[in-house]
A and B are shown apart, each in its own frame.
Chain A
Amino acid sequence: MRTRPRPTAPHQAKVSRVLRPGPSGADGYRRGVTTTEAHREHAHGTRAAGGRLLVAGVGAIVVIALARIGTATLPAGILPDRLQDFVTLTVSVVVESMPFVVLGILLSIVVQVWLPAGFFAAWLPRNPMARRAVVSLLGVLLPVCECGNVPLARGLVAKGFSVSDSMTFLIAAPIVNPITIVTTYQAFGWSDGILVSRIVGGFLVANLLGWLYSKHRDQDALLTTAFARECRMPAGSHDGHSHSRVGSSAGLFRREMTTMLPALLVGAAVAGGVQTLVPRSVLLTLGSNPVWSILAMMALAFVISICSNVDAFFVLPFASTFLPGSIVAFLVFGPIVDIKMLTLLRTTYRPAVLAQIGVVVGLVAAVLGLVVNQIA
């Protein structure tokens, strides 16, 4: 897989020499060869290299599959119970989240590469407040849940959204989207205003955060240096002169997967580890206290890192012992702030921003929970 084209000066360019395995760690890559002939040679070389990489990829799949089939007969129980459960939980988070990450990156590619340049500017309101309100409803059209919204929000920033606008989408999308609304309705119906509180809460906290960060003078300072640098690339270079849209999409997929998947795996391992070590029963004894129940459910949401599309079903059984306000706090806090989300968000935002998001969302969710507890 490490075979790669090595651009050479035009007079050296023979196909047989263009293809050379890359010496690991070597950094002698030169670019900027501009003659037409070199381009042609280069293109020829990359096509051949691409073919080889494709074969290597298929070969890798075969090797992985054989390894998987070969190890399937290992006896169960080679690991101690707790370690095995840690592995099971971690794998479960990965397997559950992976489809949504792929979906989010697909939509991000559509937004960045395939939509015309001024697509969003054409119809979004100019007034910042109104624009953020509309942006926070985009999740209705792009139901990406909570793992897919990170790559999609990255795509929106790269497409020219301000960081604060994209943050409004990022926070609102997991809650204000049709799948989440339907599953929450299926779980709770209209009882105790849980559904309405959740939607309103998600909408409000997203617009609040968007407004707060729109006051920030240097929007790029909110982003990690790597992502800010990527966004500063001139728009043209995303689908530069010599690149097809397919090529750009492929490059984007490669970059986004390389950013998101390691974060997902680390988040899954941490979430699995915490769940293995912290007895959940500790949280469940706090159910009937108006204040503690809210904090306990927020802690549970943080630890469990469950997808917002289905968290309503998960929390439904708790409704018999926990006050409705604590259920609302769970449903508003969990989709935005949990272990897995924080590691995914860390790919894009600075740690201080994550802490601020956590505090603001936590406060809003807790206040909302208290209000619901008072009314219900």
Chain B
Amino acid sequence: MRSRRNWPGLALTLVIGTATLWLAATGQLVLYIHPRYVVFTVVMTLCGMGLALVALARSGDSDEQDEHAAADGGGAGAADLPRSRRPSPVALGAALVVTLVAVALVVLPPAVLSSATASTRGLGAAVTTTGSVRTDGATTKYTVLDWASKLRASTDIGSYENESVDVTGFVSPSPDDPDDTFYVTRFVITCCAVDAQPVGVPVYAPAWKDSLEANQWVRIQGAFATNPSAASSATIALVPRAVSKIDQPHDPYLY
């Protein structure tokens, strides 16, 4: 009977919807999407959940037409059971994946991307920022993104004299000098975490692993200098005056 075969859509709507609203209510939706989509997402989620409840309340009405409309197994993505009694392995696998994702949405604590992804996405590689270097004088308010853009534009140490740096980010080991250099890193997102791109400022801190771990959020105050590290490809590095461990900010991404 159809009303049973078509329940996964409504169940998934309620699962995804409830999880999304909870993320929004606790201010954690920004871990996954750009803030400008939060309102749209919440509104459409409410629409979807409202319709799902209407569809449940009216499900008796549409049994007849549902019976004609066999939606049995559109393919790889369809978790509903095909007509035959034995579902294909593909359908079973799809159903398993769907179930796991739904459970993950409800059970796993929300998280920000880690330094592992920062390294696979080319932290410190040539392409990362929009190149829109801030030109106003208030370098004290510069973020990791601003400094990383400036470092890309100019490697002349003279232009960094007397600059006091105060940035926050998480620790990512430097790919070429993991023992003595790390990057204070942020992800920049344009739409959602899928498109997150890491930006980082190299920090010269010999034996940093004695006091810090990768992914630890830190606030670093210091100044730029010619990078003393021989192994690192970064010519200029931040030499910290003070490194303090902090909690992950509520808004961990930059835009």
Interface residues, chain A, with chain B CB atoms under 8 Å away: 1-2, 4-5, 22, 27, 29, 31, 42-43, 45-47, 49-51, 53-54, 56-58, 60-61, 64-65, 67-69, 71-79, 81-82, 84-85, 87-96, 98-100, 102-103, 106, 224, 226-227, 229-230, 233, 237-238, 240, 242-244, 246-248, 250-269, 271-272, 275-276, 278-281, 284, 287, 304-307, 309-311, 313-314, 316-318, 320-322, 343-344, 346-348, 351
Return the contact of B52 from the options A103, A253, A280 (Cβ within 8 A). Answer: A253
Bound CA span A164–B95, Å: 31
Tell me which of A102, A269, A279, A348 has the highest count of chain B C-beta atoms within 10 A of its own C-beta: A102
* Chain A residues near B138 (CB-CB < 8 A): none
Interface of B is mostly: helix
Q: Are A45 and B60 in touch, CB under 8 angstroms? A: yes
Q: Are A262 and B125 in touch, CB under 8 angstroms? A: no
Q: Are B127 and A284 in touch, CB under 8 angstroms? A: yes
Bound CA span A184–B198, Å: 22
Tell me whether B254 is interfacial, beta carbon within 8 Å: no
20 A–B pairs (Cβ distance < 8 Å), ordered by A: A4-B59, A5-B63, A56-B56, A89-B117, A91-B104, A95-B23, A95-B29, A95-B33, A99-B48, A227-B71, A243-B64, A250-B51, A254-B62, A257-B12, A259-B74, A262-B79, A263-B76, A280-B120, A287-B127, A347-B74
* Chain A residues near B40 (CB-CB < 8 A): 99
Q: Are A87 and B108 in touch, CB under 8 angstroms? A: yes
* Chain A residues near B229 (CB-CB < 8 A): none
* Chain A residues near B33 (CB-CB < 8 A): 92, 95-96
* Chain B residues near A54 (CB-CB < 8 A): 53, 56-57
- How many chain B residues touch the partner (CB < 8 A)? 106
Tell me whether B114 is interfacial, beta carbon within 8 Å: yes
Q: Are A310 and B191 in touch, CB under 8 angstroms? A: yes
* Chain B residues near A58 (CB-CB < 8 A): 53
Known A65-B18, A250-B62: A85·B195 in contact at CB below 8 Å: no
Q: Are B68 and A237 in touch, CB under 8 angstroms? A: yes
Residue of B nearest to A57 (CB): B56
Q: Are B74 and A226 in touch, CB under 8 angstroms? A: yes
* Chain B residues near A269 (CB-CB < 8 A): 97, 100-101
Return the contact of A320 from the options B43, B55, B119, B127 (Cβ within 8 A). Answer: B127
Residue of A nearest to B152 (CB): A320
Chain A proximity mask over B133-158: 1 for CB below 8 Å, otherwise 0: 00000000000000000000000000
* Chain A residues near B195 (CB-CB < 8 A): 304, 306, 310, 314
Return the contact of A224 from the options B75, B113, B215 (Cβ within 8 A). Answer: B75
Bound CA span A67–B26, Å: 15
> Across chains A and B, which 10 residue pairs bring their CB atoms closest together, nearest first?
A46-B60, A263-B77, A251-B62, A257-B9, A258-B9, A247-B61, A99-B44, A281-B122, A347-B74, A92-B193
Q: Are B6 and A255 in touch, CB under 8 angstroms? A: yes
Residue of B nearest to A80 (CB): B116
Bound CA span A247–B95, Å: 28
Q: Are B77 and A87 in touch, CB under 8 angstroms? A: no
Give min CB distance, B122 to chain A, whole Å.
4
Q: Are B101 and A258 in touch, CB under 8 angstroms? A: no
Tell me which of B4, B20, B127, B197 has the highest count of chain A C-beta atoms within 10 A of its own C-beta: B127
Bound CA span A111–B22, Å: 32
Q: Are B61 and A243 in touch, CB under 8 angstroms? A: yes
Q: Are A261 and B193 in touch, CB under 8 angstroms? A: no
Tell me whether B32 is interfacial, beta carbon within 8 Å: yes
Tell me whether B49 is interfacial, beta carbon within 8 Å: yes
Bound CA span A234–B91, Å: 29
Bound CA span A102–B130, Å: 32
Q: Are A61 and B18 in touch, CB under 8 angstroms? A: yes
Give min CB distance, B86 to chain A, whole Å.
13
* Chain A residues near B101 (CB-CB < 8 A): 90-91, 94, 265, 268-269
Return the contact of A255 from the options B22, B57, B69 (Cβ within 8 A). Answer: B69
Given contacts A85-B116, A279-B121, 17 further A-B contacts (CB under 8 A): A1-B11, A29-B1, A74-B107, A75-B109, A81-B116, A82-B117, A87-B104, A99-B45, A102-B45, A102-B48, A230-B71, A243-B61, A247-B61, A253-B51, A257-B13, A284-B127, A307-B191
Chain A proximity mask over B1-24: 1 for CB below 8 Å, otherwise 0: 101111111111111111110110
Bound CA span A248–B54, Å: 11
Residue of A nearest to B131 (CB): A320
Q: Are A247 and B62 in touch, CB under 8 angstroms? A: yes
* Chain A residues near B47 (CB-CB < 8 A): 102, 106
* Chain B residues near A267 (CB-CB < 8 A): 77
Q: Are B127 and A255 in touch, CB under 8 angstroms? A: no
Return the contact of B77 from the options A67, A91, A98, A343 (Cβ within 8 A). Answer: A343
* Chain B residues near A252 (CB-CB < 8 A): 62
Give min CB distance, B51 to chain A, whole Å.
5
